[in-house]
Amino acid sequence: MRRPRTALLVPGALLAALLPLSAAAHAADDPPPVPVDRFEGEVPFASQPADGIFTWGGDTDDPPTLSLADRADAPEGAKVLTGTYDISGYGGFTHDFAADQPAHDWSAHQGIRFWWEGHDNGKKIPFEIKDGGANGEASELWTTSFTDDFTGWKQIQLPFSDFAYRTDYQPVGGIDHVLGLTQMWGYALTLPTGLKGQFAMDDVELYGKADQALHASVSTDAPVYPVVEGGTARVRVTLATTGDKPVDAPVTVTYATAGGTATEGQDYTPVSGTLTFPAGTASGASATVEVPTRKDRAGESAETIPLKLTVDGAKAPAETPQIVIDAHGLPYLDPKLPVKKRVADLLSRMSLAEKAGQMTQAERDGLAPGDIASYDLGSLLSGGGSTPTPNTAEAWAKMIDGFQLRAQATRFQIPLIYGVDAVHGHNNLYGATVMPHNIGLGATRDPQLAEQTGAVTAAEVRATGVPWDFAPCVCVSRDERWGRSYESFGEDPALVESMETVIQGLQGRADGSDLSRDDKVLATAKHFVGDGGTAYGSSTTGTYTIDQGVTTVTRQQLEDIHLAPYKTAVQRGIGTVMPSFSSLDITGDGKGAVKMHARGDMINGELKGRMGFDGFVISDWNAIDQLPGDYANHVRTAVNAGVDMMMVPYSYKDFSGTLVDEVKAGRVTEARIDDAVSRILTQKFELGLFEHPYADTSGAADIGSPAHRAVARKAAAESQVLLKNSGGLLPLKKSEKVYVAGSNADDIGNQTGGWTLTWQGASGDTVPGTTILQGMRQAGGDVTYSKDASAPTGGYDVGVVVVGETPYAEGVGDVGNGHSLSLSAADQAAVDKVCGAMKCVVLIVSGRPQLIGDRLGEIDSLVASWLPGTEGEGVADVLYGDRPFTGQLPVTWPKSESQLPINVGDASYDPQFPYGWGLTTGTTVPRADAGTWKSLAARAAAAERRGDRHTGQDLVTQARLLVQQRAGERMTAAVAKPFADADHLLLTGKYGQAVEKLTEAYRAA
């Protein structure tokens, strides 16, 4: 048992007396320490542009709490900075210096140090400093870390020579990649993830005398150099200096091949020598070291040759470069063999640790790149907002290629599979085509268009080097208070199933034969199963009210509503499935509410067994941490339940190590591991990653192209649902003078919603695109705009008020968690003022229905615009009649929140507007009589018997339009229920029954 190490506080004089004479003498030559933070109250809790300390995190629960506390044991002064934390994603705090004051000069010092109260938790704690740039949030980030492996106070010393340039994230894309130290803007500290704890810190200061070698550094052009057996690796060694100044003294680099798994003299010719950069050498000078390898006839796995570099006069590279002789001559490398044989051959060669690595997925933002090879990682991801800097297609491809290069240093050179949440286009990428969210696509009732949106998304995602998309969400949303309801195609499983054509858009043919194309990606059906059915108030995650809660259903309800879309997804060849954070409680099964990541009866039994799913199951973000018991129980429970790959963003080391231990202890079988890894490797082979691991950017020029945006524009137009149109106010005439108002008329951030550049999305000018206002102007409309309707309202023919929600994602957007279904006071005021002054159209830009019944009488035309994406011209197209309104409600529009949940098929059903409702402006509906309905019913029944989908849909649509024309604004429960039921029957191919229901609705109108 290791004894905890406890740091002792001793007076400075006594400490000096205890130092060796040489150290004391050296310390005497050093400049005195320079305070950065004493934490005595001299620096406020504030953010830029002021000087201050502030917290941050991945979501609302992740930022730590901070306070200045009186402590008798404070290493300096009376107070210390202290706080508590419980971080699931990432979180920490920053001290930024005042942005309106000059930056600080730290170049005279050796490093930065501070006192830290250790808890011996073994966690690595990243510490970064901010160099150059305009201010603390537009600087260059340099990072190092220390390990909390002690107890009590200890002074942590971090020499500036230990700091490395952050390659995973830079606020402004990096500046000169040189740690200059002359313009410093502060520091930041990242607290441990997955651990509930507290911390205390004191006395941050600069110490020591500057290391002269700090201003010059030596680097290599890559960390890994794969070479075909018999080829020669060429390692380029480059000198760089602060400010591009020539070096004052010679810099020597002694190199030698040593160690590794390759055999000297047999696999390669050893090399050694010295490179010299004389005094006066300019920054950027380079030289090349060549390492020849030798060829033999035997097939073998990859072998490594480290090239050790010893540098004098400059900072050495952070890593020892590795030459890798590529694996060759082994069956799994032969693309002519069937995938099944390649998988079996590779699996037979892998160690348990290598297999565990393939089952592990890490977040790129929390990754030490060298760990890819050290832990044989199988996958990386970018969570929402986790992007390279700059956020361009080129930077994405370069970043992912860099990660793939690291994987080449593993024994079998198994490529990584990189995943992103491209849930409505490549929404993490700036400049991508952003589609309407799924709820809008559901409103289009256009499966072919859904497939086209998937194809555009796949092409843009793959062109950045990403082969895997965590989409589509095939949830069936049963309660619009859910913060993820806009990720659903609708409340009817039949509608969701019909829109799963998006899978073919993403993946191509169902047999997987298109996956290796440069415009297709592996898709993910999520979240298995029942995530859309959670009960309001059942969530126990933070302040969430419904997301990640409990879905309580009978076995038949589970089959009919929530499992049905997964059967379709499996039939369509879906490559991966993601379980839900939520719990499932099946009435009468005796299990109670069980987290989905633990439900082997559902994952192994239903999905893999009864449905025959042969892809792999990927967990949700840190989802296993929500399972009961200790961490080992989390791991074995999820793996034994059938989860094949674990999304463990920041705890990848813990997961892979624990999984190995569980197998060795016999609590997880090797057969289960082999099944999981076989499934993962199969998809990697199908994607063509073994032959082409690096990005194919040939399609990058099409990202955000006019052709791609045309698809998004069409989707935006078809998603618009016309709920009310008194007097035929819509479409507008371009000759009319139009007064436009409302919070969402000219806000691209609100229009695109959550999951746009960042997880939660943001209001404002966030992404390139066209707002609804801009679209109206581009359409040629005579438009005046006043956001708050404060401009005079006289002299206009019609008003258009665009209102609704601001962005949110997941449980952060749950109703009751800071959100409601009512319009904001400002939006209500804008509607009242404009609609009180003129004829008006109200557009609701939102992820779910908004309660509008109290104002419906004063509104002439009402449109559900959903979240239309970046192409506001699509909304203008239907407003001005360039395209007809054809959208239909994918969810029931309630009268009040007390009605929720309300869904098609409910025994009691009296909504504001029923499921399937949607007026049209493009069709003249003739009057009907008894003969009309009799004819429609007979023809629809005949089409149903023949399986004639086209004719059946056309006949039901005619009947639907007749009901809407007759009902007008007189909606009653007697009309709404059969009307909604008819739309469900239409989607299930029961055309005759659908017309019968619509006949009932017509008679009740």
DSSP 3-state assignment of 881?
Answer: coil
Strand stretches in 111-167, DSSP E: 111-119, 123-131, 140-148, 151-159, 164-165
Give the span between the Cα atoms of 243 and 217, in whole angstroms: 12
Q: Which residues pair with 856 in a beta bridge?
A: none
CA distance 597 to 575: 18
- What is the signed CA dihedral for 831, 834, 840, 846, rounded to 10 degrees? -30
Considering the candidates 37, 354, 451, 620, report the single residue annotated as catalytic. Answer: 620
Could you give the count of Cα atoms lying within 13 Å of 932 in the half-sphere of its Cβ? 17
Rounded Cα distance between 828 and 804, Å, is 10
- Element (H or E) spanning 321, and its range? none
**Residue 62 annotated as catalytic:** no
The C-alpha angle with vertex 802 and arms to 799 and 808, in degrees rounded to 5, equals: 175
Question: What is the residue whose two structure tokens read 């491809």?
Answer: 397
Residue 72 has a CB neighbour count (10 Å cut-off) of 5
- Whether the CB-CB separation of 802 and 867 falls below 8 Å is answered with no
Please, are residues 435 and 425 in contact by the beta-carbon 8 Å criterion? yes
**Residues written for the chain:** 1005
Q: Which residue has the tokens 């004639």?
A: 948
Residues 586, 592, 596, CA angle at the centre, nearest 5°? 70
- Dist CA 709 CA 725 (whole Å): 29
- Distance (Å, rounded) from C-alpha 61 to C-alpha 91? 9
Burial annotation 323-351 (CB, 10 A radius, 16+ → b, else e): bbbbbbeeebbeeeeebeebbbebbeebe
Instruction: Judge whether 810 counts as a catalytic residue.
Output: yes
> Positive or negative, the Cα torsion across 889, 894, 897, 903?
negative
Whole-number Å distance between alpha carbons of 803 and 863: 10
Structural tokens at position 61: 């629960």
803 Ramachandran zone, left/alpha/beta (phi>0; psi -120 to 50): beta
- Which is the catalytic residue, given 140, 810, 860, 983? 810
- Give the torsion through C-alpha atoms of 460, 465, 469, 470, to 10 deg: -130
**Cβ atoms within 10 A of the Cβ of 837, count?**
15
Q: Among 752, 470, 463, which residue's Cα sits nearest to residue 616?
A: 470
Task: Name which of 515, 517, 603 is nearest 339 in CA terms.
Answer: 515
Give SS3 for 100: coil
Find, among 673, 606, 614, 671, the residue nearest to 638 by Cα: 673
CB 595 within 8 A of CB 555: no
- Element counts in the chain: helices (H) and strands (E): 25, 37
- Count of other CB atoms within 10 angstroms of residue 258: 13
What positions carry a catalytic annotation?
620, 810
